[in-house]
A = this chain, B = another copy of it.
Amino acid sequence: MARKKVQLQWIMDDTARRTTYKKRVKGLMKKVKELSILCGIEACAVVYSPYDPQPEVWPSPMEAVRVIGEFKCRPENDQTKKRFNQENYIRQRVAKAKDQVVKQQKKNRRTEMENLMYQCQAGGKGLQDLNIKDSSDLMWSIDDRLKAVGQKMEYFHHPAPQPSGAAAPAAVPVAQKTPLEVALESLENQMLMDLTPRPTDSLVTVGYPGGQDMMLPGPYGHYEDPSFWGHPFFT
């Protein structure tokens, strides 16, 4: 699609075909990922090629098998739709909260804000300790969590003396997303994960500078793709 319109037919030239394959398979996987994230849906793509021993798969071979297998025996019960509504409710809550947080961030100095965010997230109990049981608990839990975050933020806004003890960690390097955003996303992911129980697989290890590692369940299983998490500290 550049410099010349290509016909939709098999490319004769070996080199050109391979080049096109490499470019397009990359673009295709990106598109699948975007669709899945933007619309919050499950999707997968599998591409065989004679160029690689393993086929190109998104989001992961295991997830692909699960997704494909699911539609073979979809009972079309409203259990699925119900779960989806719950997911959307959670996503909306988190997204709105994130919006407010981001809005408020812009009214304050950035580095100090991030210092607080970091303390708020690393100092308290880790996200992995929330131990959420069912969806009604989920709603309450996130309300509580966001409320707590809001209180800490309020505290910061007042010109109260900064805790200057040895416990104060260094400022977090500025990345694309703030630690709070990452924390919110982690919480969201955990909550969504809780709605869709599945065999204990695809665990993602999260490393955070200066803090303890967290084990986050990977609800979408974007293996080999830390960029999905939108944060450079995920490994």
Residues on A lying within 8 angstroms of B by beta carbon are 6, 8-12, 14, 17, 20-21, 24-25, 27-28, 31-32, 34-35, 37-50, 53-55, 57, 61, 64-65, 67-68, 70-72, 74, 76, 81, 84, 88, 91-92, 95-96, 230
- Bound-state CA distance A49–B31 (Å) is 16
A32 engages B42 (CB within 8 Å): no
A68 touches which of B6, B34, B46, B88 (Cβ 8 Å): B46
Q: Describe A's contact surface by its main secondary structure.
A: helix
Q: A53 contacts which chain B residues (CB < 8 A)?
A: 76
Most chain B beta-carbon contacts within 10 A, residue among A10, A17, A44:
A10
- Bound-state CA distance A27–B20 (Å) is 18
Q: A45 contacts which chain B residues (CB < 8 A)?
A: 32, 43-46
Given contacts A6-B38, A12-B96, contact A72 B65 (CB under 8 A): yes
